[in-house]
Chain A
């Protein structure tokens, strides 16, 4: 465990401390205690910038070395860029949230989730081991779910949280499958070691499966077409969360993954095509949709989707640079543009979200229709919006212009690629890119115009006024960065962009990127930009004339409709299936379980054959005979008796006899446990007794009895057979010898059973304990729920219900 591991896990540790502080100290806003965490991490990570340029850093920490799951922190340009973005934006978001969230909110939950997310995200981008990466990946989904559902009393929040969870978790699961497929090819979980075996992956027939599965993971996480539908609904989260998770960092995890695995899969046409086309379609479609949205946050959500598509498509082009020699310069431009736009997008979109939060906070609405003419009332917000929205639109002198121009340049030159059958339809790439950019321009202008110009509507729930400094400092810092990166892009190029681009392209050769505003009139990207501005302005001016085309996009043809219907129908279907066998009687469930057991046992007996060996059996003594007699008598009494209490007592008698059996067979641990269990179960039976329903007066039907008889007979036979066969057949060496040999040296204990429980098979015990605890809490919740519901029907106690 090194310092960098601790840096990754620091937010998790801090989350525990924050939870405690929140409970006992509420005078100061909790955010001030959280703020140092991302700041420290950001500063610490910044010290790696010079180190990384001389080569990646690898720090190993063993977690489960036997299965190859280790926490190997791998810091190269790409990972470091993401990590700095995560901690840097994280610090700004925490600062912003201090102004945004009031004391009345449940700040403890908010910051615990946020810190959990920070750890998870750092873990994703600084990991070399795919199993650990997957672990952190799912943790980001979980924390995102919790943060979207932060205002869990609102129905929309719950809907959005569930949607994001279903879609991203589905992707995460696919991702795990992809990683396992990679493991079967290469035999390792380390990305570094996989990279060394690219040829092996290239030849493997499993590779396309791995590609599809991994891309599913990346596309769901990064909200690419057609999985983007969760992101607009995720906007129900508090605005700091939207700025942080759903625009600057988490949704870029998919992009990170694609970038990280580009050297692995760039050979594949499937990979390049899916990413390139998927990204471009997402770009065009989402920016087209963003224009008609009324809610500012919805506009930004669709804008985020489209920008993610743009970065994704650039990475697709970058994959070409790895595999082909042709037009290599332009493809490396694509990679540089992807990295650069990643940074730019985090700055301007983060700021825009924060400004939206300010507007929401100070006017009480986010609707473009109800806002308007706020220029003189909120001058600071206007300045920030102006800078960042124009950067998003791709206008000079802001940073968005530079990366947008690189993007256009790369897309226009894609026609020169000598790659498969690309030449036939190559025109579609610049076309989609330009169409997407035009709509991006339109909605960017619409945000500025709709909110700050025009007539004041006087329709806002609150009287608008400028936000306190605490809220605009963070977007202001980002806006300053927007201008700085725009005017001096080369402060980034050698220190951050180049190392990141080099690790995507898996080269050691320095790129020597030099980004500049002016490339001369011969540059086609310049003309493309000019065309975008002119067409965009015209379309914006005449927007009332063509907006009607959105009406053709009916509700029934949207992906959301498909999602909702699918969810509803799957609910109905599963309800139908479940209802068909859930009778509500434990005896039916037991019958299912036992029947399955009998069938399974019979099949395996049939397949393996029965081989019995009765030699070398211990003699049956008089004491065992007596015990068996007691058991038999008890069973007979249970079967015959009509009284429940007699049944319970007889059942306990069998349990205690079992304990005696263990004593005779010299298993004191088992005997002790059996005794204790029997005592507690009997007590449980007695308290449950009162709740049992009255015994049915009607005699059971013959058929029912007969089925039960058959099932129990089958179970009895199978169990006896298993016992005999397990004794007679020795397929493997006994593991007990290992335990006997090692209990002293490895476990440092004397009682083998206990050493197995806490050491050799500690995992079993750990998870059993967890299950035990969860079961207890679950029963508690069920019982309490039942009690509460009864309260509601009677005289409802409001205090109790809210708790």
Chain B
């Protein structure tokens, strides 16, 4: 962000920008967006949403933090290596279809059931959620990885 501002003529964009309004709002909105992204992800099988949209929104939420603060602060807030997240996402996405061999069914056969949980009531369990989780993690982490990387690169 700083670099972009400098380029467009804001010479005063110094090491740490202190935009209190933006930063405070970002924190709040981040919470809302990330909750919404989880909601989209879990609700995906029955109502609009899913792993891809959820992942993108999660990435968007973190990008908001990145814009409001800077890369260092973001890494302090979210101390995760995105490459690791991509790997685990791909593991989920590839591993779950493979697991169906254990049930003696062809590759990529989903299993589903539903259970009764006291507070939540009837909850559906579907193995597609785990596959979708893989999509979610990969999409979110890849988008973030690219944007953080391009953002930090000095010309």
Residues of A at the B interface (CB closer than 8 Å) are: 1, 5, 61-65, 645, 668-669, 672-673, 676-677, 679-680, 683-684, 686-691, 747-751, 753-755, 757-759, 762-763, 765-766, 769-770, 772-773, 775-777, 779-780, 783, 786-787
Segment at the interface with A among B18-26, B48-56, B72-80: B48-56
Q: Knowing A749-B126, A751-B49 touch, does A772 contact B138 (C-beta < 8 A)?
A: yes
Interface of B is mostly: helix
A-facing residues in B135-155 (Cβ within 8 Å): 135, 138-139, 141-143, 145-147, 149-151, 153, 155
Chain A residues whose CB sits within 8 angstroms of the CB of B7 once the complex forms = 689-690
Q: Contact: A683 with B45, CB < 8 Å?
A: no
Whole-angstrom distance between the Cβ of A319 and the nearest chain B Cβ? 36
Whole-angstrom distance between the Cβ of A151 and the nearest chain B Cβ? 26
Q: Contact: B49 with A672, CB < 8 Å?
A: yes
Interface string of B1-13 (1 = CB under 8 A from A): 1011011100000
Q: Contact: A669 with B149, CB < 8 Å?
A: no
Q: Contact: A754 with B3, CB < 8 Å?
A: no
Chain B residues whose CB sits within 8 angstroms of the CB of A684 once the complex forms = 146-147, 150
Q: Contact: B8 with A645, CB < 8 Å?
A: yes
Q: Contact: B57 with A783, CB < 8 Å?
A: no
Chain A residues whose CB sits within 8 angstroms of the CB of B52 once the complex forms = 673, 757
A-B contact pairs, 23 of them (CB 8 A): A61-B104, A65-B106, A676-B57, A676-B60, A680-B59, A680-B60, A680-B143, A683-B147, A686-B1, A687-B147, A690-B6, A690-B155, A749-B45, A751-B46, A754-B45, A758-B51, A763-B108, A766-B131, A769-B90, A769-B135, A769-B138, A779-B146, A780-B149
Chain A residues whose CB sits within 8 angstroms of the CB of B83 once the complex forms = 777, 780
Residue of B nearest to A776 (CB): B142
Given contacts A63-B106, A769-B93, 5 further A-B contacts (CB under 8 A): A1-B101, A688-B150, A747-B110, A758-B51, A773-B142
Chain A residues whose CB sits within 8 angstroms of the CB of B97 once the complex forms = 762, 766
CA–CA, A458 to B133, complex, Å?
Answer: 64
Q: Contact: A765 with B135, CB < 8 Å?
A: yes
Q: Contact: B139 with A772, CB < 8 Å?
A: yes
Interface of A is mostly: helix
Interface check B15, CB cutoff 8 A: no
Q: Contact: B49 with A779, CB < 8 Å?
A: no
Chain B residues whose CB sits within 8 angstroms of the CB of A758 once the complex forms = 45, 50-51, 110, 128, 131-132, 135
Chain A residues whose CB sits within 8 angstroms of the CB of B115 once the complex forms = none
Chain A residues whose CB sits within 8 angstroms of the CB of B35 once the complex forms = none
Report the number of A-B residue pairs with Cβ-Cβ less than 8 Å: 162
Chain A residues whose CB sits within 8 angstroms of the CB of B105 once the complex forms = 62
Chain B residues whose CB sits within 8 angstroms of the CB of A689 once the complex forms = 4, 7
Chain A residues whose CB sits within 8 angstroms of the CB of B139 once the complex forms = 769, 772
Q: Contact: A769 with B106, CB < 8 Å?
A: no
Q: Which are the 3 A-B pairs with shortest beta-carbon distances?
A: A776-B142, A750-B46, A676-B56
How many residues of chain B have a CB within 8 Å of chain A?
59
Whole-angstrom distance between the Cβ of A511 and the nearest chain B Cβ? 38
Whole-angstrom distance between the Cβ of B119 and the nearest chain A Cβ? 22
Chain A residues whose CB sits within 8 angstroms of the CB of B135 once the complex forms = 758, 765, 769
CA–CA, A690 to B5, complex, Å?
Answer: 9
Interface check B34, CB cutoff 8 A: no
Whole-angstrom distance between the Cβ of B98 and the nearest chain A Cβ? 10
Q: Contact: A780 with B145, CB < 8 Å?
A: yes
- Partner among B8, B102, B110 whose Cβ is within 8 Å of the Cβ of A1: B102
CA–CA, A684 to B89, complex, Å?
Answer: 22
CA–CA, A547 to B18, complex, Å?
Answer: 83
Q: Contact: A769 with B134, CB < 8 Å?
A: yes
Q: Knowing A680-B56, A691-B155 touch, does A769 contact B104 (C-beta < 8 A)?
A: no
Chain B residues whose CB sits within 8 angstroms of the CB of A680 once the complex forms = 56, 59-60, 63, 143, 147
Q: Knowing A689-B4, A758-B132, A772-B142 touch, does A753 contact B50 (C-beta < 8 A)?
A: yes
Chain B residues whose CB sits within 8 angstroms of the CB of A1 once the complex forms = 101-102, 104
Whole-angstrom distance between the Cβ of B36 and the nearest chain A Cβ? 10
Residue of B nearest to A673 (CB): B53
A-facing residues in B58-113 (Cβ within 8 Å): 59-60, 63, 67, 83, 86, 89-90, 93-94, 97, 101-102, 104-108, 110, 112
Residue of B nearest to A758 (CB): B128
Residue of A nearest to B45 (CB): A749
Chain A residues whose CB sits within 8 angstroms of the CB of B67 once the complex forms = 683, 686
Whole-angstrom distance between the Cβ of B5 and the nearest chain A Cβ? 9
Q: Contact: A691 with B146, CB < 8 Å?
A: no
Residues of B at the A interface (CB closer than 8 Å) are: 1, 3-4, 6-8, 40, 44-53, 56-57, 59-60, 63, 67, 83, 86, 89-90, 93-94, 97, 101-102, 104-108, 110, 112, 124, 126, 128, 131-132, 134-135, 138-139, 141-143, 145-147, 149-151, 153, 155
Chain B residues whose CB sits within 8 angstroms of the CB of A759 once the complex forms = 110, 128
CA–CA, A763 to B101, complex, Å?
Answer: 16
CA–CA, A65 to B108, complex, Å?
Answer: 12
Q: Contact: B142 with A783, CB < 8 Å?
A: no
CA–CA, A659 to B132, complex, Å?
Answer: 23
Q: Contact: B106 with A683, CB < 8 Å?
A: no
Q: Knowing A688-B150, A691-B153, A765-B135 touch, does A751 contact B102 (C-beta < 8 A)?
A: no
Residue of A nearest to B111 (CB): A748
Q: Contact: A62 with B134, CB < 8 Å?
A: no
Q: Contact: A748 with B112, CB < 8 Å?
A: yes
Residue of A nearest to B87 (CB): A773
Q: Contact: B145 with A776, CB < 8 Å?
A: yes
Chain A residues whose CB sits within 8 angstroms of the CB of B60 once the complex forms = 676, 679-680, 683
Residue of A nearest to B148 (CB): A687
CA–CA, A684 to B151, complex, Å?
Answer: 8
CA–CA, A691 to B154, complex, Å?
Answer: 8
Q: Contact: B53 with A762, CB < 8 Å?
A: no
CA–CA, A64 to B112, complex, Å?
Answer: 20
Q: Contact: B56 with A775, CB < 8 Å?
A: no
CA–CA, A527 to B142, complex, Å?
Answer: 72
- Partner among A64, A645, A751 whose Cβ is within 8 Å of the Cβ of B45: A751
Whole-angstrom distance between the Cβ of B46 and the nearest chain A Cβ? 3
Residue of B nearest to A750 (CB): B46
Whole-angstrom distance between the Cβ of B62 and the nearest chain A Cβ? 10
Q: Contact: A673 with B153, CB < 8 Å?
A: no
- Partner among A61, A687, A691, A750 whose Cβ is within 8 Å of the Cβ of B101: A61
Q: Contact: A668 with B48, CB < 8 Å?
A: yes
Chain B residues whose CB sits within 8 angstroms of the CB of A779 once the complex forms = 145-146, 149
Chain B residues whose CB sits within 8 angstroms of the CB of A677 once the complex forms = 56
Chain B residues whose CB sits within 8 angstroms of the CB of A786 once the complex forms = 153
- Partner among A676, A747, A748 whose Cβ is within 8 Å of the Cβ of B53: A676
Whole-angstrom distance between the Cβ of B85 and the nearest chain A Cβ? 10
CA–CA, A754 to B67, complex, Å?
Answer: 31
CA–CA, A61 to B107, complex, Å?
Answer: 10
Q: Contact: A672 with B40, CB < 8 Å?
A: yes
CA–CA, A747 to B7, complex, Å?
Answer: 51
Residue of B nearest to A779 (CB): B146
Chain A residues whose CB sits within 8 angstroms of the CB of B94 once the complex forms = 766, 770
Q: Contact: A669 with B49, CB < 8 Å?
A: yes
Chain A residues whose CB sits within 8 angstroms of the CB of B142 once the complex forms = 772-773, 775-776
Q: Contact: B86 with A669, CB < 8 Å?
A: no
Chain A residues whose CB sits within 8 angstroms of the CB of B110 once the complex forms = 747-748, 758-759
CA–CA, A686 to B1, complex, Å?
Answer: 8
Q: Knowing A680-B60, A748-B126, A751-B49 touch, does A777 contact B86 (C-beta < 8 A)?
A: yes
Chain B residues whose CB sits within 8 angstroms of the CB of A691 once the complex forms = 150, 153, 155
Chain B residues whose CB sits within 8 angstroms of the CB of A687 once the complex forms = 1, 4, 147, 150-151
Q: Contact: B104 with A776, CB < 8 Å?
A: no
CA–CA, A668 to B146, complex, Å?
Answer: 27
CA–CA, A150 to B20, complex, Å?
Answer: 54
Q: Contact: B153 with A770, CB < 8 Å?
A: no
Chain B residues whose CB sits within 8 angstroms of the CB of A773 once the complex forms = 86, 89-90, 138, 142
Chain A residues whose CB sits within 8 angstroms of the CB of B138 once the complex forms = 769, 772-773, 776
Chain A residues whose CB sits within 8 angstroms of the CB of B124 once the complex forms = 748
CA–CA, A12 to B102, complex, Å?
Answer: 15
Residue of A nearest to B50 (CB): A754
Q: Contact: B49 with A64, CB < 8 Å?
A: no
